[in-house]
Chains A and B, each alone.
Chain A
Amino acid sequence: MISGVFLRLLACLTIFSFFIYSYLDKQNSCTELKMHLPKLTKEIQAINEVNANLQYQIECFENPQNLLSLAGSQQYAHLKFPFMEEVLTVKEGLALHYSAPKERKAEPAKSKTPIVATN
């Protein structure tokens, strides 16, 4: 009788201890993650800063004055702005349908008109 109560008590204590342990373990993991948060926040902030600086550098390079001087150089002399009538505007869905590999047939290009997809 007494040994039966003792066994049941032992089982309860074991289960209780297991849950307590897993709860504490979870708490520890959470705390560990929380401890990483400030560092990660700082890293994200630093990445954002670098991003903004890179964005600025890219814009500096894409300065239209630079691009115009590049366009005037011999290397790009063959390029020209297309006339409006040479630009065909097709809807995005149509453009995707047109370029689907299954429906595409090997046909010779009929026109050299550039096609620009827009939304």
Chain B
Amino acid sequence: MSEDPKMPPTAHDRRLLVYVALFLLLLFSLVIVQFYKIQIIDGDKWRRAANRQHKLSVIEPYCRGVFYSNTSIKKGHPEKAQPFVIDVPKFHLYADPEMIPEACRKDIVKRLQLTLDLSNEDTQKIGVQLAKKSRSRKLVLWLSREMHDNIAKWWQTYAKSHKIPRNALFFVSDYKRSYPFGKLLGQLLHTVRSERDQAAHQCIPTGGLELSLNKYLKGEDGRRVILRSPRQPLETGTVIKQPQHGADVYLTINHHLQAIAEEEIAKAVMAANSTCGWAVMMDPNTGEILAWAQYPFFEPARYKDYFNDPKKEEHTKVKAITDPYEPGSTFKDLTIAICLRANTELKKQGKAPLFSIDEKIATKARFFPGRNKPLKDTHHYSYLNMYMGMQKSSNVYMATMIQRVIERMGEEWYRKALEDFGIGTKTGIELPAESAGMLPRLGKTYPNGALEWSKATPWSLAMGHNVLVNSLQMLRVYGIFANGGYDVKPTLIRKIVRKDGTVIMEHKPATPSRRILDPEDVKTINKAMRFVTLPGGTARKGNIPGYTEVGKTGTTEKVINGVYSKKDHISTFIGFAPANHPRIVLLIAIDNPEHKYTPGVGRNQMGGTCAAPAFSNIGLRTLKYLGVPEDDPKNDAWDKEVKDLKVLFDQWNHG
């Protein structure tokens, strides 16, 4: 380079300048190439790495579907939708242990224990979680907004003073299944576990409707991205995928009727000093279940207490469908219905009928084919007609009638008729674990080699023995009597609706429904059952003041260790009201009522003593609530018929 600044640059200077420029250009090109490699060629890799380092993807929870009460059963009383369960927003506390210095961990655990009032065991668990090498550990579940704010307030100052990134502790919101009505409808609703399935991040139902309708109730979680930056405040972020909420289920059950049924069934179980009891109410025309109560109750919010205690676990079952029983005398109406059906068929064929309603039938204890003991009634009756047979719940009368059915129509016809009423098949109610019960099959054997359908089976079936039914099957049978002889399918669901208003499923009763019984036969059966709750009947306590009602009691001995127990019973009452235009059909079952005799009251274990009063109370309160006008205000609508029947009965039996 020339030394004099006024001198023009020499060729050497120019060459040098070009070399320097080229060198700088080369360096710049290298930078460009490196940029190209990082940004374009390895762009995805570094983007992923950066996201891992700076961003945290958390779940944006979906809202599980809700169960609504049936608020449209009262005329002129439109009510707002009433949920049985509400998803309340709560928070889970998470930690990013890698961001928390080891020296601070003990202090944090201690502060959390004080703020959240945790037990020593829970505190230890938090310590274990914080010691793990992970970027996301769950510390505490289901925190309320207040607790959330308390922790956030303390943490912000603590993190600042200890120079810990603020996002080292963070919250994730979630919805908690909450039950505003507490135990109401507990066994049917059930609940979901407090912790979700780890893999699918879905709620785990514990049973009931939550389990059977899980595919409709569940939704799909969304995703939210949070920056790990220390400056980033808690709980901000961008939702990158919106959650898909679950569909809502509109039940047929009304919360007021449910409360009435639960209150009364609890009283009945306590009064009978029994172990358990249930009441199921149905609209006989549509099959909609209006109330379904079981005592002792099950509180979904405290489900862990129940499942961790073998004694309490029993109360989580819906016994009306899971525990089949021998129906006993409540089956006698079915026996009469089948006899009347046989009569109608024979008349159509131009043949002589099986029997007439007023026929005087000998009902003294006697032997029936296949039985090694004579069949007898609890009281001695010489002669009865059909009305008296029902009123006195006579075993001999029913067996005599079925003997005629077998002789004229055959055993297969009889079994087919029982099947037509739904005996031995599931009702298809939308609940898990329904038992189909057991109807003996012709020509089949039990595991011990004994015939399911022996020679004596028809006489046992006639009085409700040698057959197992669930309560809903019996309710369906009485529903058929109540609605004029049409088949009816019990249901718990009116409709299932997505959050956007799309109806996924809607219950519409089958029209026209299959006719099971002739209308005249239905009237005859209902007339016969009317005597049960009137003077001379077995269930006077089942009478609903101000209304006409129809019903039948049943008291059966339970099978304990393979033999009938004389002290363990299941007592039932099934009926409907008002008699002429039934609004409800109601079943009451009392399991294991105390075996005792109370002077002036009677034998406690009888259905007429322990179950019938609950029928009367629930029936009365329900009809009042529904605004059904009284059709028997003085309770004397059938006085004349009752007196006439008594005169004839005395003539035949005490004359």
List chain A positions with a Cβ less than 8 A from chain B. Answer: 38, 42, 46, 48-50, 52-53, 55-56, 59-60, 62-65, 67-68, 80-89, 116, 118-119
Taking CB atoms and an 8 Å cut-off, the chain B residues in 324-341 that contact chain A are: none
A43 to B626, CA, bound (A): 44
A65 partner residues in chain B, CB cutoff 8 A: 181-182, 184, 259, 262-263
Instruction: Indicate the member of B75, B624, B628 with the most A CB atoms within 10 Å.
Output: B75
A93 to B260, CA, bound (A): 36
B181, chain A: closest CB distance, angstroms: 5
With CB as the reference atom, state the residue of chain B lying closest to A53: B88
A49 to B624, CA, bound (A): 39
A59 partner residues in chain B, CB cutoff 8 A: 82-83, 86, 180-181
B77 on interface, CB distance cutoff 8 Å:
yes
With CB as the reference atom, state the residue of chain A lying closest to B178: A56
- Nearest first, the 10 A-B pairs at minimum CB distance are A59-B180, A64-B259, A87-B76, A116-B76, A84-B627, A60-B180, A83-B629, A49-B89, A64-B255, A64-B256
A46 to B626, CA, bound (A): 40
B2 on interface, CB distance cutoff 8 Å:
no
A118 to B78, CA, bound (A): 7
Instruction: Indicate the member of B83, B88, B258, B260 with the most A CB atoms within 10 Å.
Output: B88
B145 on interface, CB distance cutoff 8 Å:
yes
With CB as the reference atom, state the residue of chain A lying closest to B69: A64
B624 partner residues in chain A, CB cutoff 8 A: 80-81
Select which of A85, A89, A118 is within 8 A of B629 by beta carbon.
A85
B75 partner residues in chain A, CB cutoff 8 A: 84, 87, 89
B180 partner residues in chain A, CB cutoff 8 A: 56, 59-60, 62-63
B184 partner residues in chain A, CB cutoff 8 A: 63-65
Total residues of chain B contacting the partner, CB 8 A: 32
B161 on interface, CB distance cutoff 8 Å:
no
A87 to B516, CA, bound (A): 35
B236 on interface, CB distance cutoff 8 Å:
yes
B18, chain A: closest CB distance, angstroms: 43
With CB as the reference atom, state the residue of chain B lying closest to A114: B76
B23 partner residues in chain A, CB cutoff 8 A: none
B263 partner residues in chain A, CB cutoff 8 A: 65, 68
Select which of B88, B262, B626 is within 8 A of A52 by beta carbon.
B88
Given A64-B259, A81-B627, 8 other A-B residues pairs in contact with their CB atoms under 8 A: A42-B236, A46-B145, A49-B89, A52-B86, A59-B180, A82-B627, A89-B75, A118-B76
A48, chain B: closest CB distance, angstroms: 8
A25, chain B: closest CB distance, angstroms: 28
B377 on interface, CB distance cutoff 8 Å:
no
Contact B78 A52 (CB under 8 A): no
Contact B259 A68 (CB under 8 A): yes
B259 partner residues in chain A, CB cutoff 8 A: 63-65, 67-68
A53 to B182, CA, bound (A): 15
A84 partner residues in chain B, CB cutoff 8 A: 75-76, 626-629
B627 partner residues in chain A, CB cutoff 8 A: 81-84, 86-87
A67 partner residues in chain B, CB cutoff 8 A: 256, 259
A42 to B145, CA, bound (A): 13
A83 partner residues in chain B, CB cutoff 8 A: 627-630
With CB as the reference atom, state the residue of chain A lying closest to B87: A52
With CB as the reference atom, state the residue of chain A lying closest to B621: A68
B625 on interface, CB distance cutoff 8 Å:
yes
With CB as the reference atom, state the residue of chain B lying closest to A46: B145
Contact A56 B181 (CB under 8 A): no
With CB as the reference atom, state the residue of chain B lying closest to A60: B180
Contact A64 B258 (CB under 8 A): yes
B641 on interface, CB distance cutoff 8 Å:
no
Contact bitstring B616-637, A, C-beta under 8 A = 1, else 0: 0000000011111110000000
B379, chain A: closest CB distance, angstroms: 40
A53 to B625, CA, bound (A): 30
A64 partner residues in chain B, CB cutoff 8 A: 181, 184, 255-256, 258-259
B235 on interface, CB distance cutoff 8 Å:
yes
B58, chain A: closest CB distance, angstroms: 15
A49 to B628, CA, bound (A): 41
Contact A56 B76 (CB under 8 A): no
